[in-house]
Structure formats: C-alpha cells, structure tokens
Amino acid sequence: MMKSIFLVLISVFTLSSCASPDWRTASREPAGIAADPTTSQDAIIDVYAADAFSWRGWFAVHTWVAIKPKNAREYTVYEVVGWRIKQGLPALKQYQTPTPDRYWYGAKPERILTLKGDKASALIPDIKQAVDNYPWADEYQIFPGPNSNTFPAWLALKIPELGLEMPFRAIGSGYADRIDTQG
C-alpha cells in the first residue's frame, strides 16, 4: 500500500511539473510574448526564464537571452544546454529565430528583462563580445554550475547596464561570481 502511494505521488509530481512527460512531444510553440521582428524595427534585448523540464521545474528555471539589432528580421538567441556536451558540442549555443519566446519543453516562458531602442542598440555589441568571451562555453554541470543560468548571470556581471536581476530559482547563477575570484 505504501509503495503504491509513493508511486502515485512520484507520478503526480513528475507529470504536474511539465505539460508533457516526454521532451520529444513537449510544446516548443511561441508564447506570444516577444515583439514580432517583421513589424518592430527597434533594437531589442529580451531575457526569458521558464521552469526547467520535468521535476526540476519545481525547483529551478532555465534562462536564455535574445537580441535583435535595429531593423533585424530575426532574433539571435543565446542559451546554455547541457545535453549538447554529450554530443561533443559546446554547451553555449546560438541560433536565429523570429520567435525567441518558445515554450521550454512544455513550460511557458516569462520575460524577466526587456530593453528596446537606443539602450538596446548600445548594449548589443557588448553582449556579442561577452558571448565570445564566456569562460564556460564548453562546460555544463547542473549544480553548482556552470549551467543555463550561469550564462545570463555572467552577462549581468560583465554588462551592469543591462540591469538584469536573475530569478531566485535560477540555480547556478551564483557560479558566475567565480570568474572574479579565480584571478
């Protein structure tokens, strides 16, 4: 009896933290939060957070950064994804998309920062330079980091003008502080 209750609780816990228990079928649809790059001419910097996949979403978020230079027809998204390491690829990836606000494997994202116009235009080159200098691009560790939350936190340290404050559940964001203590 106790084993059955335990299994039911585990099933509810796992299923309730993600719309789909299988990452292959979980939603990756746009959430409708981001400005349409075909109609918005402004430069834009957006940072998103969504519950991590599966049971991890009860405790942690996954974060990513999207930039769109003035008049660009797509966003460039930067994010750190751990499973890329197992494929022999860098954890830090970038890609072009008109929809940077896609669900994170079933979890609807929240925009935690948005900058537009001249301020975004001024900071986009700094973000691109910081991406090139990210010290953990080829590393990933769920805890204590570096992970998907370390990258935006590191950007916030390197570019204080962003004004980015990481969510409380951005586990691994504190790892970014190590760069200053490593000498």
Type of residue found at 55: W
Share of the chain above pLDDT 70, in %: 79
Q: Is the peptide bond before 37 cis (omega within 30 degrees of 0)?
A: no
Looking at residue 171, what is its pLDDT?
A: 94
- DSSP letter, residue 102: B
Asked if residue 172 has pLDDT above 90, the reply is: yes
On the question of pLDDT at 19 being above 70, the answer is: no
Q: Is the pLDDT of residue 16 over 50?
A: no
For residue 110, pLDDT over 90 is answered with yes
| pLDDT at position 54 | 60
Q: Do 138 and 150 form a contact (C-beta atoms < 8 A)? A: no
pLDDT in tens, 34-51: 999 999 999 999 999 998
pLDDT of residue 27: 54
Mean pLDDT of the chain: 86
What pLDDT, on the 0 to 100 scale, is given for residue 163? 98
Whether the per-residue pLDDT at 28 is higher than 70: the answer is no
The tens digit of pLDDT for each residue in 59-70 reads: 789 999 999 999
Taking the CA atoms of residue 157, residue 136, residue 116 and residue 71 in that order, the dihedral angle to the nearest 10 degrees is: 150
Answer yes or no: is pLDDT of 72 > 90: yes
